């Protein structure tokens, strides 16, 4: 069942969204070559708790940390570790969620650590741009396929692939609610967007093929061909006239 959120629920999700956006921002503020993924995770955890919220990912489906920190060919669900040291030129994705009064937020940002020695700026800008294009399609009367198609039609001409096995989702009293929000789709198809629907939109791009595989830790999802990947995510509400990005500062 797709659930629509009341205005007061959306205001609480905005608070959860502000908190997670500040957690991700503070982690990136100190991110530099030589730091470990666990140190970044610790920052997200303390920022979320300091503001009276709960980490949404910790313990969910058994995930052992506050943030997913994924590097280069790792697309999503990287487990933070004291042994994982970030190197100059890495693409680092921090994906994180917070809970306020039982309501969730979900947010991901990718950045280059240090200098762009591996020429990753284009995949990062394209991923971010595709999320912006998708958000512009969020308004009552549009359909889910319009959102998916906005991502796909922005990304394809730039020569990148889109991950198919992991998609965006509805969000509210659970992290993952229906509907699924694929990053590939046809315009004017799928469910109609209505005020109160809140979606986590999250394009995942690769510089090679779209196929993925899971590492032995049973969490980290990587590109099958080892190519670079990038991921951005916002939690966005459908309003009476358009969109409202909840995961921002």
| Footprint of Mg ion (CB under 5 A) | 95, 106, 108, 200, 233
Report the 10 Å Cβ neighbour count for 7: 10
DSSP 180: E
Query: Residue with structure tokens 């994906």?
Result: 95
The nearest distance, CB 87 to Mg ion, in angstroms, is: 24
The nearest distance, CB 109 to Mg ion, in angstroms, is: 10
Q: Closest CB to Mg ion among 20 and 193?
A: 20
Q: Closest CB to Mg ion among 26 and 116?
A: 26
Q: Closest CB to Mg ion among 161 and 233?
A: 233
Q: Is the peptide bond before 179 cis (omega within 30 degrees of 0)?
A: yes
Q: Closest CB to Mg ion among 78 and 190?
A: 78
The nearest distance, CB 117 to Mg ion, in angstroms, is: 27
41: helix, strand or coil: helix
Q: Tell me the CA end-to-end span of the chain in Å, nearest whole number.
A: 30
Q: In what order do the strands lie in the sheet with 212-214?
A: 74-76, 221-223, 212-214
72 φψ region: left (φ > 0), alpha (ψ -120 to 50), beta (else): left
Cα–Cα nearest to 104, from 182, 35, 13, 190: 13
Strands 103-112 and 91-100: antiparallel
The nearest distance, CB 169 to Mg ion, in angstroms, is: 6
Cα–Cα dist 48/71, whole Å: 22
Q: Closest CB to Mg ion among 32 and 165?
A: 165
Structure tokens at 51: 């503001």
Strands 91-100 and 67-71: antiparallel
The nearest distance, CB 133 to Mg ion, in angstroms, is: 18
Q: Closest CB to Mg ion among 117 and 249?
A: 249
The nearest distance, CB 96 to Mg ion, in angstroms, is: 7
């Amino acid at each position: 069942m797709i659930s629509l959120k009341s205005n007061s629920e959306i205001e609480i999700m905005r608070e959860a969204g502000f908190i997670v956006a500040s957690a991700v921002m503070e982690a990136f503020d100190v991110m530099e070559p030589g730091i470990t993924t666990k140190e970044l995770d610790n920052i997200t955890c303390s920022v979320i708790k300091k503001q009276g919220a709960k980490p949404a990912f910790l313990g969910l489906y058994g995930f052992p940390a506050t943030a997913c920190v994924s590097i280069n060919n790792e697309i999503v669900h990287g487990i933070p570790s004291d042994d994982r040291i970030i190197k100059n030129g890495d693409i680092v994705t921090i994906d994180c969620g917070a809970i306020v009064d039982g309501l969730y937020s979900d947010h991901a940002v990718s950045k280059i650590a240090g200098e762009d020695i591996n020429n990753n700026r284009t995949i990062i800008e394209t991923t971010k741009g595709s999320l912006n294009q998708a958000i512009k399609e969020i308004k009552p009367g549009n359909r889910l396929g319009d959102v998916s198609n906005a991502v796909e039609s922005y990304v394809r001409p730039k020569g990148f692939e889109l991950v198919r096995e992991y998609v965006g989702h509805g969000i509210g009293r659970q992290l993952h609610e229906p509907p699924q929000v694929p990053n590939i789709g046809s315009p004017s198809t799928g469910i109609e967007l209505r005020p109160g629907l809140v979606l986590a939109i999250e394009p995942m791009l690769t510089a090679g093929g779209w196929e993925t595989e899971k590492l032995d830790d049973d969490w980290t999802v990587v590109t099958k061909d080892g190519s670079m990947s990038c991921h951005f995510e916002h939690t966005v509400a459908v309003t009476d006239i358009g969109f409202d990005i909840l995961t921002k500062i």
